[in-house]
Structures are given as structure tokens and as C-alpha cells.
Amino acid sequence: MRGGYLHNVILIAVLSDLFELEGWHTDQEVPVRMGSTIRFVDLVAEREGYCIAIEAECSAKRIEGDLDKAQAIGSQELWIVTPTARIAESVRRKLDRLYVPVNRDGLFVLTQGAATERVMNKLPHFAGS
């Protein structure tokens, strides 16, 4: 994987393991064609036809690309997962400047802890689960 230890092990691998414990199928570094280039979604979790794209971000720089990749794979949700609340707030501000509503239409900005809690506590009761 392309990211460092924080990105690959702490943010992505932990979430992948949790999704699988809850009965979801996961794939890391899922390729998606964006025009003439290939980009990669960090983690895709699927269950019974429901798809969640997960992007781990340590800054707000690549948010527009994350939105495009999630749309290109046809995911019902996009989770942007950050290591800290400060980075999550930076991502929310960037989305606000792009006029993209958070926590609606399947877009969630979550810290690692919030994402973990969402997998363990919310998804087992979720209609798509």
C-alpha cells in the first residue's frame, strides 16, 4: 500500500479487520479508472450489495479526489477517516467550502475512534447490513 504505517496499519488495516469481524467483505487499494489514470480507494467494504468506500486522510488535500473515487465505484457511503479530531475538522471545513454536506447523502468524516465505533455499534443494526 502507498501510505505509511499510520495510514496503512492504524487507519486502514484496523478498520478492515473490524468490518470482516462484522461479516463484511473488504478489499484494500481497490483500483478505479479516473479518465486516463488509475486511482485507488483505500478500503472498500461490501455486504449484501451495500458498498462503503473508506479513505484514510491525514490532511484535507485530497478530499475532492476521494469524492470522485467513491462516486466512480458507485458506493452508497464514503467515510473519510482521520487520525485526529483536528484533521477531521479541517476536512469538514474543506467540504463546506466545496458545498458538500457532511453526514448526509452517505458522506461521513470520522476519527479513527468514531469509525471503529460506527462499525461495531451502528452497522450491525443498519438496513444495509
**Do residues 19 and 26 make contact, with C-beta atoms less than 8 angstroms apart?**
yes
Q: Domains in the chain, start-ordered, CATH in brackets?
A: 15-106+113-122 (3.40.1350.10)
**Do residues 52 and 79 make contact, with C-beta atoms less than 8 angstroms apart?**
yes
Phi/psi-derived region of residue 54, left when phi > 0, alpha when psi is between -120 and 50, beta in every other case: beta
Residue-wise pLDDT tens digits, 62-109:
999 999 999 999 999 999 999 999 999 999 999 999 988 887 789 999
Residue-wise pLDDT tens digits, 15-68:
999 999 999 999 999 999 988 999 999 999 999 999 999 999 989 999 999 999
Residue 57 is placed in which grid cell?
486522510
